[in-house]
C-alpha cells in the first residue's frame, strides 16, 4: 500500500509546490515594499491548545479551583516556551485578590413573606441570592419596594426613585431598561441595551442609595438568556474583587413565576406594575411583603492570576506603547454532584485562550513597531474581575496603551465572508478594522442593535471604561460552506452556552477560528505600526477618561 501511494503523493506535492512558491516569492517582494509581513496564525497549535484547555483534565478552568490554577500554569509555561517576555517584572502573573461567596440555602431560613404567608419557593428553581458584601450572615425582617427598572439617568430625564428614601429596603426591580415607545423611539438607546439595563448597574445604584438588597425579576426576553443561566450562576460560588466597592446585604434573582406569586400575594398585579414602570412618571411602590429570616453564606479568600506576556516592539520610540490582546481564561469550573459536573467552556472561552496562544506564536515571528501584550484575564464569568483589576492596576501605562482587542467565544463552525467589529465604531479602530477586513476580502457584518448589551459584558469594557479604545472581535455569520447547516449549529450552541455541554468536538472546522484570530492579529498589527494611537470619536462618554 505504502509503496503504491508514495510516488503519487510526491508527484502531487511537487505539482502544488511550484506555483505556490513562485507566487509567494513575487508577493513577498511586493509585501516588503508596502509593509512588513504579518505571520500566519496556524490551525495546529490553535486546535491543540483548544482541545487540551477544554478537556476534563482542566476541570472547566473554575475560579478558585484546581483547573483554574492548572490553566494559569499552562499559559505561563507556554508563554515561556514561545519566548514571550513577562509583563510584570520577571513574572507573567498579576495577582487578582478576590472573595469567594457561596450561599448556604440549606442552613438559611430566609423567605419571602406576603399576606402573613411564606411563598413556597425553592432556592435554585425559583430564586437565587447571595450576600453582595462578602459577610457570612445577615438577618432580615425587611420591607420590599418595587422600583421599576431601578434606574436614575439624568441625561434621559428618568428617575425611578423620585427622591423616595429606600435606605434599608429590599428593592425588587426589572431587568433591562425602558423600552422605546411610538413617541420616544430613541430613549435608552432604542432597542439596544444601555449600561443602565445591566444588573451590575442596578446593584451599584442600590448600594449608592443604601438599600439592604436587590431582587431582580427574571424574564428570558429582558435578560436575553434563560433561567437556567441564572440558576447555574446563582447556585455556584460567586466572586468579587477584594477591597473594591461592595454590594448590598443580599443580591439575587427571582423567576417570573415567583414574581407573579409574590405580587399577587401582596395584592398587586405584576403586569400593571410593569406597564407603569415603562412610564417616566412611575413612582416606587411599597409591597405588602417582606424578606424575613437569616441568610447564611460561606466566605473565603481566593488568589487568582491574570497572565500577561509581551512581544516587544521593533521601533525605538513606538515600542514604549502597546497593543493589548485579551481573552478570559476562566469558565464555570466544576459544579454540582451528579451528572456531568464539568463545565468545559470549550467555546467560552478555551477558544479565545487558545487563539491568543496561536496569535502570540505568529507575533513572535514578525513583531510590530509597537509592543504587543497577550493578556489572559481571570474571573470574567464572575463579573469581569480580572480585567477590572488590570484596568485599576495596569502593567503598562493606560495612556500608552493604543488599543485593547478582546476575544471571547470564537467561531467554531467555519469560514465566513464577514467579521463582526461591533463597538469599534466608537473609536478610530472602526476605520482601521474596515481596511484590514478589506485586505482579507472580508466584509464587516451588518450592524444590529445591541439588544443584550454585549458591549458591556466582555472584558474589553474594563479597558473602555478606563479610556482605552477597545472592542471584542466577533465571528461572522455569513458562512461560506453549508450556510443552513452552519446556522443550525450556531443556534444549537445557544442551548449549550454556560452549560456542561459546551464541549470540544474534534470534528469542528476551525477555519473560521483561524480567520477570526488572523483578523485580530492583522488589526493589532495595523494599530501597532500606525503613526498615531487611535482616538475616541468626539462625544463618546467613554472617551472622557482618555482626554484627562
Ligand atoms: Zn466568555
Q: Evaluate whether 331 touches 379 at the Cβ level (below 8 Å).
A: no
In the reported structure, the alpha carbon of residue 409 is separated from the centroid of ligand 1 by a whole-number distance in angstroms of: 6
Residue 453: the pLDDT is 77
Tally Cβ neighbours within 10 Å of residue 211: 24
Q: Give the residue from 181, 180, 229, 113 showing the smallest Cα distance to 500.
A: 229
Q: Give the residue from 332, 351, 350, 352 showing the smallest Cα distance to 342.
A: 332
Render the burial of 252-274: b for 16+ CB within 10 Å, e for the rest.
Answer: bbbbeebbebbbebbebebeebb
The span from the CA of 526 to the CA of 524, in Å, is 5
Residue 186: the pLDDT is 87
In the reported structure, the alpha carbon of residue 528 is separated from the centroid of ligand 1 by a whole-number distance in angstroms of: 26
Render the burial of 220-246: b for 16+ CB within 10 Å, e for the rest.
Answer: eebbbebbebbbbbbbbbbbbbbeeeb
CA R_g for the chain: 25
In the reported structure, the alpha carbon of residue 347 is separated from the centroid of ligand 1 by a whole-number distance in angstroms of: 8
Residue 35: the pLDDT is 47
Q: Evaluate whether 385 touches 96 at the Cβ level (below 8 Å).
A: yes
The span from the CA of 195 to the CA of 454, in Å, is 10
DSSP string, 322-337: EEEEEEE--B-EE--S
The span from the CA of 318 to the CA of 321, in Å, is 6
Residue 500: the pLDDT is 93
In the reported structure, the alpha carbon of residue 14 is separated from the centroid of ligand 1 by a whole-number distance in angstroms of: 44
| H or E element that contains 342 | strand 342-343
Grid cell 439588544 — which residue? 451
Question: Helix (H, G, I), strand (E, B), or coil: what is residue 266?
Answer: coil
In the reported structure, the alpha carbon of residue 331 is separated from the centroid of ligand 1 by a whole-number distance in angstroms of: 7
Tally Cβ neighbours within 10 Å of residue 208: 10
Largest Cα–Cα distance of the chain, in whole Å?
87
Which residues are CB-neighbours of 413 under 8 A, at least 6 positions away?
475, 479, 486, 489, 490, 508, 509, 512
In the reported structure, the alpha carbon of residue 380 is separated from the centroid of ligand 1 by a whole-number distance in angstroms of: 7
- Tens of pLDDT along the chain (548 residues) come to 333 333 333 333 333 333 334 444 444 444 443 445 789 999 999 999 999 999 999 999 999 999 999 999 999 999 999 999 999 999 999 999 999 899 999 999 999 999 889 999 999 999 999 999 889 999 999 999 999 999 999 888 999 999 999 999 999 999 999 999 988 888 988 888 888 888 888 998 999 999 999 999 999 988 888 999 899 888 888 888 887 667 899 999 999 999 999 999 999 999 999 999 999 999 999 999 999 999 999 999 999 999 999 999 999 999 999 999 999 999 999 988 889 999 999 999 999 999 999 999 999 999 999 999 999 999 999 889 999 999 999 999 999 999 999 999 999 999 999 999 999 999 999 999 999 999 999 999 988 888 777 888 899 999 998 999 999 999 999 999 999 999 999 999 988 898 999 999 999 999 999 999 999 999 999 999 999 999 999 878 788 788 76
Tally Cβ neighbours within 10 Å of residue 518: 22
β-pair partners for 96: 304
The span from the CA of 171 to the CA of 429, in Å, is 40
Pull the grid cell for residue 307. Answer: 497572565
Residue 245: the pLDDT is 63
Q: Give the residue from 386, 374, 367 showing the smallest Cα distance to 49.
A: 374
The span from the CA of 483 to the CA of 398, in Å, is 41
In the reported structure, the alpha carbon of residue 494 is separated from the centroid of ligand 1 by a whole-number distance in angstroms of: 13
Question: Helix (H, G, I), strand (E, B), or coil: what is residue 290?
Answer: strand
In the reported structure, the alpha carbon of residue 44 is separated from the centroid of ligand 1 by a whole-number distance in angstroms of: 23
Cis check for the bond before 349: say yes or no (omega within 30 of 0). yes
- Please report the beta strands in 104-136, taking only residues with DSSP state E, as ranges in sequence order: 111-114, 117-118, 127-130
The span from the CA of 50 to the CA of 547, in Å, is 39
| H or E element that contains 516 | helix 511-529
The Cα angle at residue 301 between residues 300 and 307, in degrees rounded to 5: 140
In the reported structure, the alpha carbon of residue 348 is separated from the centroid of ligand 1 by a whole-number distance in angstroms of: 5
In the reported structure, the alpha carbon of residue 407 is separated from the centroid of ligand 1 by a whole-number distance in angstroms of: 8
Tally Cβ neighbours within 10 Å of residue 344: 27
Residue 539: the pLDDT is 79
In the reported structure, the alpha carbon of residue 349 is separated from the centroid of ligand 1 by a whole-number distance in angstroms of: 5
CA torsion sign for 55, 59, 60, 61 is negative
In the reported structure, the alpha carbon of residue 381 is separated from the centroid of ligand 1 by a whole-number distance in angstroms of: 7
The span from the CA of 332 to the CA of 440, in Å, is 35
Q: Evaluate whether 311 touches 84 at the Cβ level (below 8 Å).
A: yes
Q: How far, CA to CA in Å, does 456 sit from each of 36, 115, 250, 449, 463?
A: 35, 39, 23, 14, 11
Q: How far, CA to CA in Å, does 351 sit from each of 71, 80, 355, 475, 517?
A: 13, 20, 6, 12, 10
Residue 34: the pLDDT is 40
In the reported structure, the alpha carbon of residue 343 is separated from the centroid of ligand 1 by a whole-number distance in angstroms of: 12
Amino acid at each position: 500500500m505504502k509503496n503504491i501511494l508514495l510516488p503519487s503523493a510526491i508527484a502531487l506535492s511537487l505539482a502544488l509546490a511550484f506555483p505556490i512558491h513562485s507566487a509567494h516569492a513575487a508577493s513577498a517582494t511586493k509585501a516588503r515594499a508596502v509593509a512588513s509581513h504579518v505571520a500566519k496564525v496556524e490551525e495546529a497549535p490553535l486546535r491543540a491548545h483548544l482541545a487540551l484547555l477544554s478537556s476534563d483534565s482542566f476541570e472547566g478552568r473554575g475560579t478558585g479551583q484546581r483547573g483554574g490554577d492548572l490553566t494559569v500554569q499552562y499559559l505561563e509555561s507556554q508563554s515561556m516556551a514561545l519566548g514571550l517576555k513577562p509583563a510584570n517584572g520577571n513574572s507573567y502573573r498579576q495577582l487578582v485578590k478576590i472573595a469567594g461567596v457561596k450561599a448556604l440555602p440549606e442552613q438559611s431560613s430566609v423567605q419571602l413573606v406576603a399576606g402573613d404567608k411564606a411563598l413556597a419557593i425553592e432556592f435554585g428553581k425559583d430564586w437565587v441570592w447571595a450576600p453582595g458584601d462578602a459577610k457570612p450572615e445577615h438577618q432580615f425582617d425587611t420591607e420590599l419596594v418595587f422600583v421599576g427598572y431601578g434606574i436614575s439617568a439624568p441625561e434621559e430625564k428618568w428617575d425611578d426613585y423620585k427622591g423616595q428614601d429606600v435606605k434599608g429596603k429590599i428593592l425588587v426591580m426589572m431587568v433591562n431598561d425602558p423600552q422605546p415607545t411610538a413617541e420616544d423611539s430613541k430613549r435608552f438607546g432604542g432597542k439596544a441595551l444601555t449600561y443602565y439595563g445591566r444588573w451590575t448597574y442596578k446593584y451599584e445604584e442600590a448600594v449608592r442609595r443604601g438599600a439592604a438588597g436587590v431582587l431582580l425579576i427574571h424574564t428570558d426576553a429582558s435578560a436575553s438568556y434563560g433561567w437556567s443561566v441564572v440558576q447555574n450562576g446563582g447556585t455556584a460560588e460567586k466572586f468579587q474583587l477584594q477591597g473594591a466597592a461592595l454590594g448590598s446585604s443580599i443580591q439575587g434573582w427571582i423567576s417570573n413565576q415567583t414574581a407573579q406569586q409574590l405580587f399577587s400575594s401582596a395584592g398587586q398585579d405584576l403586569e400593571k406594575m410593569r406597564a407603569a414602570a415603562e412610564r417616566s412618571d412611575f413612582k416606587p411602590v411599597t409591597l405588602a411583603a417582606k424578606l424575613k429570616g437569616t441568610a447564611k453564606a460561606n466566605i473565603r479568600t481566593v488568589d487568582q492570576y491574570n497572565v500577561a506576556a509581551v512581544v516587544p516592539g521593533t521601533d525605538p520610540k513606538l515600542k514604549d506603547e502597546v497593543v493589548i490582546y485579551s481573552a478570559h481564561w476562566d469558565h464555570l469550573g466544576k459544579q454540582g454532584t451528579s451528572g456531568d459536573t464539568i463545565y468545559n467552556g470549550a467555546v467560552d472561552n478555551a477558544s479565545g485562550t487558545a487563539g491568543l496562544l496561536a496569535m502570540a506564536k505568529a507575533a513572535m515571528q514578525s513583531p510590530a513597531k509597537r509592543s504587543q501584550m497577550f493578556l489572559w484575564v481571570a474571573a470574567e464569568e464572575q463579573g469581569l474581575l480580572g480585567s477590572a483589576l488590570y484596568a485599576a492596576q495596569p502593567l503598562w501605562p493606560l495612556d500608552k496603551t493604543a488599543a485593547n482587542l478582546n476575544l471571547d467565544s470564537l467561531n467554531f463552525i467555519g469560514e465566513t465572508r464577514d467579521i463582526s467589529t461591533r463597538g469599534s465604531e466608537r473609536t478610530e479602530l472602526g476605520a482601521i478594522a474596515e481596511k484590514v477586513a478589506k485586505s482579507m476580502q472580508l466584509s464587516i457584518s451588518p450592524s444590529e442593535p445591541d439588544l443584550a448589551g454585549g458591549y458591556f459584558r466582555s472584558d474589553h469594557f474594563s479597558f473602555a471604561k478606563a479610556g482605552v479604545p477597545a472592542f471584542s472581535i466577533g465571528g461572522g455569520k455569513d458562512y461560506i460552506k453549508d450556510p443552513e447547516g452552519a446556522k443550525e449549529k450556531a443556534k444549537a450552541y445557544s442551548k449549550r452556552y454556560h452549560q456542561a455541554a459546551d464541549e470540544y468536538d474534534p470534528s469542528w472546522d476551525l477555519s473560521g477560528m483561524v480567520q477570526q484570530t488572523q483578523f485580530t492579529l492583522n488589526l493589532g498589527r495595523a494599530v501597532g505600526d500606525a503613526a498615531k494611537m487611535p482616538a475616541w470619536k468626539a462625544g463618546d462618554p467613554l472617551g472622557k477618561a482618555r482626554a484627562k
